[in-house]
Structure 1
């Protein structure tokens, strides 16, 4: 299984970053606008995301851990046999936080596609989160 790891510093309070991350249905407006163009919630509670490049993905929420500012989700119905991700926010002092996003994917070759998508997503998230700080 391939693991893609992205980490970046956000010039915003961890509580504010966490509030945006945990808002599962507003990821396209609060967390990664531009990278994501739409998000709808289906009858089972999964979010259907439309990416700026036209990709559509169905993400099922696995869990939200408020105490550790950690969210986990899995992608279903896509090309990957397995796709599980977590995103977590750490306090780095007043007005600063660290965002850690980890994705495990099978087959390993999917990492070559997922990695650049996560890089683009991280850039969009940092920009949006710092603009609203």
Structure 2
């Protein structure tokens, strides 16, 4: 299985970044230009990409101590998918 790791620096405090990243339903705002819509209900979100592709994602965990949010694709044509920030 492949792993993709990408890191970038942003000019804001950890508290500011974490407040945005931990909001599971805020994906369309965070990834504007790639996502055009995000709707979240009870630990599931439906994201719509700019090309019209729609994926359902399940919240796996939120770790306040390490500022880590993990999620996986529940429906969207993937055999297996998981992701986390950071």
SS in structure 2 of the partner of residue 80 of structure 1: coil
Matched residues in 2 for 1:45 and 1:66: separation? 16
What is the Cα deviation at residue 26 of structure 1?
Answer: 1.6
Number of residue pairs matched by the alignment: 86
1:2-61 Cα shifts (integer Å, max 9, x gaps) = 1111111111111101110001112212x112221111124x531000011211111100
Any stretches of 5+ residues in structure 1 without a counterpart? 89-133
**Which stretches in structure 2 are left out of the alignment for 5+ residues?**
none
Question: What CA distance in whole angstroms lies between the structure 2 residues aligned with 1:78 and 1:57?
Answer: 5
Per residue, is there more helix in 1 or in 2? 1
Superposed displacement of residue 86, structure 1 = 0.8
Structure 2: distance between partners of 1:35 and 1:16: 22
How far apart, in 2, do the equivalents of 1:39 and 1:27 lie?
6
TM-score when scaled to structure 2?
0.90
Deviations 1:61-86 (A, max 9, x none): 00000110000000012222110011
Which protein is bigger by CA-based radius of gyration? 1
The two structures, once aligned, show a CA RMSD in angstroms of 1.3
- Tell me, what secondary structure is at the counterpart of 1:26? helix
